[in-house]
Amino acid sequence: MTGPRYTPLVAGLPATVPFVGPETQERARGRPFAARLGANENTFGPSPKAIEAMASAARDVWMYGDPENHDLKAALAAHHGVAPANIIVGEGIDGLLGYLVRMLVGHGDTVVTSDGAYPTFNFHVSGFGGTLVKVPYNGNHEDTGALIEAATRSGAKLIYLANPDNPMGSWHGARVIRRMIDAVPDRTLLILDEAYIELAPEDISPAIEPDDPRVVRMRTFSKGYGMAGARVGYAIGAPALITAFNKIRNHFGMCRISQVGALAALSDQAWLAEIRARVEMARTELRRIATANGLTPLASATNFVTMDCGRDGDFARSVLAELISRDIFVRMPFVAPHDRCIRVSCSGAEDLARFAAALPEALGAARG
């Protein structure tokens, strides 16, 4: 018996999970974390209206979700002032990125991203045989000019940019993004990942003609709306591109409960405003904690604060390990020089107090 016959591409890829989840770490440690501050989750949770709607929808979970996502698409279109033909709904931004790469990237096709940017995108590109061209950050910001230059030079089919950025929390203003879109090479598509946009300053998101074929915007209910476990993402783009998703997407991939929950969350903008206020309070407290312990907090437009530990990656990894040993789950950037930092999610007062108590001990042990 020889087993399945993998494609040459799959046979040559490593079996990997881009992120080691806190649950995996808890199983390995044999105990839970006291504070879950590493996955960029919105620990304040979804709108009470969304919770109520999802609980009610559980009675109907024997039915498949609407494969057209009709009601949610219509609500999103009205919310953004675009046509439903400009909206595609999918299983989080991760799912939509996978579909998009599958649609556009063949073996050897070039894709441009930043070295150290969101690794799940890279995972999709490698999984479909694409070739990644990575450019370094400019300080703590993705370098929009270098991304365009690399795409022009390599003939890239896709450019990936997150604004606000993960893992650094930095952002570019609307004028910078507008200039970047105007410079996108012919026959290249810019993926503008705006996962954290609801938590960012209002002036960073430029007005973009929804039918512009040069850019597709990715949004999610995971961050500001507090529904990471529901896996609801959507993209805004030109109708021809949006229609092409129907060639390959999982038409029953969206859970009925998630669809109903996202629709209720979108209707409760007052709750989103409350979340923005809570996140800002948490960012302020995390900046205070970092500064009090001799770390440098980076400016953030997200629901996390990246803290410069002031040394190299080995030292930051030691700090991270010491925090985890004290039951505080955090993460860190994985590419130098950003791996000098740790990254801590915003949360409520109890979680931040646990982090504040553990951090000086962790730093002392790492320096020890």
328-329 and 304-308 as β-strands: parallel, antiparallel, unpaired?
A: unpaired
By percentage, how much of the chain surpasses pLDDT 90?
96
Q: Say whether pLDDT at 265 is over 80.
A: yes
How far lies 149's CA from each of 34, 62, 328, 350, 352, in Å?
Answer: 45, 51, 41, 46, 41
DSSP state of 91: S
Q: Beta partners for 90? A: 233
What's the pLDDT tens digit per position in 131-146?
Answer: 999 999 999 999 999 9
Residue 42 confidence class, pLDDT cut points 50, 70, 90: very high
* Domain(s) of CATH 3.40.640.10: residues in the chain: 57-267
Q: What integer pLDDT is reported at residue 270 of this predicted model?
A: 98
By percentage, how much of the chain surpasses pLDDT 70?
100
Q: Say whether pLDDT at 18 is over 80.
A: no
**What CATH number labels 19-45+270-363?**
3.90.1150.10
Query: Which tokens go with 65?
Result: 């979700």
* Domain(s) of CATH 3.90.1150.10: residues in the chain: 19-45+270-363
Neighbours of 273 (CB within 10 A): 11
The closest alpha carbon to 218, from 242, 200, 246, 240, belongs to 242
The domain at 57-267 falls in which architecture?
3-Layer(aba) Sandwich (3.40)
Q: Say whether pLDDT at 1 is over 80.
A: no
Residue 305 confidence class, pLDDT cut points 50, 70, 90: very high
Q: Say whether pLDDT at 15 is over 90.
A: no
DSSP 175-218: HHHHHHHHTPPTT-EEEEE-TTGGGS-GGGS----TT-TTEEEE
Q: Say whether pLDDT at 319 is over 90.
A: yes
Query: Which tokens go with 135?
Result: 């450019």
Q: Where are the beta strands (DSSP E) in the chain?
A: 35-36, 87-90, 110-114, 131-135, 158-162, 189-193, 215-220, 233-236, 296-297, 304-308, 328-329, 341-345
The closest alpha carbon to 220, from 82, 16, 72, 27, belongs to 72
Give the 3-state secondary structure of residue 311.
coil
Query: Any idea of the CA torsion for 287, 118, 36, 300, to the nearest 10 degrees?
Result: 20
What's the pLDDT tens digit per position in 153-180?
Answer: 999 999 999 999 999 999 999 999 999 9
Residue 202 confidence class, pLDDT cut points 50, 70, 90: confident
What is the overall mean pLDDT for the chain? 97
CA 36 to chain centre: 17
The closest alpha carbon to 148, from 182, 193, 102, 109, belongs to 182
What's the pLDDT tens digit per position in 72-128?
Answer: 999 999 999 999 999 999 999 999 999 999 999 999 999 999 999 999 999 999 999
